């Protein structure tokens, strides 16, 4: 059974940093692209970033470029999102998802709240 | 403002057929496949339709998708109360080099 479990969310002040993790199981993690997708409270889905199976390619939505970094550790079946210079508008539930031309599996999400 | 355009709401009575539209451009829907996601209240999104019109295992055949040019549609026939959810279309955008979503359509079963 495929499982994606996010962790690392919490309350952080504007300008602060947070590192999200996503533990994957039930599939060969190293064979698939992975993505982070977020959802602000009461709003729609927004793709944040993705990373190629070997980590050699990464893409970001414009609003997080230069502030967020996606990475992965295939030996530990883990996906990460390092978030720096956080802004109020980054407040959202962050989901990790397996990407195979579409997002077929999603985690349950972790809430990030940016507030003073 | 979402790159893909969906109506914010849709509704129908049990047993009816409803459709949800998704409009894009040549850099996304016009050049790539469309996927649809269902998000029940308080839960993570779930893949509903992939590659324009393919249903993952376990998705009832009441759900169907289509694409023409730079637009796509999701159709739900034999509407049921458990279909009440938010629905999102998505596609890869070649100009933005990223995934784009529609703003979501809230489906209400009356």
Section A103-116 average pLDDT: 98
- Decide if A36 touches B, using CB distance below 8 A: no
Count of residues making up chain B: 110
Inter-chain residue contact B35 with A102, CB threshold 8 Å: yes
Residue A31: exposure state from Cβ atoms within 10 A (0-12, 13-18, ≥19): exposed
Which site among B44, B74, B101 would you substitute to test the A interface, given the most A Cβ atoms closer than 10 Å to its Cβ? B44
Section A66-76 average pLDDT: 98
Tens digits of residue pLDDT in B63-91: 999 999 999 999 999 999 999 999 999 99
Inter-chain residue contact B56 with A62, CB threshold 8 Å: no
Enter the DSSP assignment of A18.
E
Q: How far is A80 from chain B (nearest CA, A)?
A: 18
* Helix or strand run (H / E) with residue A15: none
* Helix or strand run (H / E) with residue A101: none
Which site among A45, A48, A60 would you substitute to test the B interface, given the most B Cβ atoms closer than 10 Å to its Cβ? A45
Confidence of residue A65 (pLDDT cuts 50, 70, 90): very high
Look at residues A92, A87, A116, A96 and name the one whose alpha carbon lies nearest to residue A29: A96
Strand, coil or helix: what is A64? helix
What pLDDT is attached to residue A28?
97
Q: Are A109 and A6 in contact (CB under 8 A)?
A: yes
Q: Are B19 and B75 in contact (CB under 8 A)?
A: yes
Query: What are residue B34's phi and psi, to 5 degrees?
Result: -110, 140
Residue B8: exposure state from Cβ atoms within 10 A (0-12, 13-18, ≥19): exposed
Chain B residues in contact with A44 by the CB 8 A cut-off are: 2, 86, 88, 101-104
Tens digits of residue pLDDT in B6-63: 999 999 999 999 999 999 999 999 999 999 999 999 999 999 999 999 999 999 999 9
Is it the case that residue B1 has pLDDT exceeding 90? no
**Which two three-digit tokens encode residue B47?**
């893949």
Inter-chain residue contact A59 with B97, CB threshold 8 Å: yes
What pLDDT is attached to residue B85?
98
Section A51-75 average pLDDT: 98
Greatest Cα-to-Cα distance within chain B, rounded to the nearest angstrom: 41
CB burial string B10-43: b at 16+ within 10 A, e below: bebeeeeebebebbbbebbbeebbbbbbbbeeee
Inter-chain residue contact B99 with A101, CB threshold 8 Å: no
């Amino acid at each position: 059974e495929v499982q994606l479990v996010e962790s690392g969310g919490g309350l952080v002040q504007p300008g602060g940093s947070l590192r999200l993790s996503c533990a994957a199981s039930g599939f060969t993690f190293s064979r698939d692209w992975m993505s982070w997708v977020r959802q602000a409270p009461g709003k729609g889905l927004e793709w944040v970033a993705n990373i190629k199976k070997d980590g050699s390619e990464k893409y970001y939505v414009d609003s997080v470029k230069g502030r967020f970094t996606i990475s992965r550790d295939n030996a530990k079946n883990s996906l990460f999102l390092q978030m720096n210079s956080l802004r109020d508008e980054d407040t959202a539930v962050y989901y990790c998802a397996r990407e195979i031309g579409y997002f077929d599996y999603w985690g349950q999400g972790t809430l990030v709240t940016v507030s003073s | 403002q979402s790159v893909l355009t969906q109506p914010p709401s849709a509704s129908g009575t049990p047993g009816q057929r409803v459709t949800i539209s998704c409009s894009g451009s040549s850099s996304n829907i016009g050049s790539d496949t469309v996927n649809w996601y269902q998000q029940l209240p308080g839960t993570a999104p779930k893949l509903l339709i992939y590659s324009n019109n393919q249903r993952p295992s376990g998705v009832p055949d009441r759900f169907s998708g289509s694409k023409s040019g730079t637009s796509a549609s999701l159709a739900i026939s034999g509407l049921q109360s458990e279909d009440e959810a938010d629905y999102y279309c998505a596609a890869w955008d070649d100009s933005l080099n990223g995934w784009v979503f529609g703003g979501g359509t809230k489906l209400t079963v009356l």
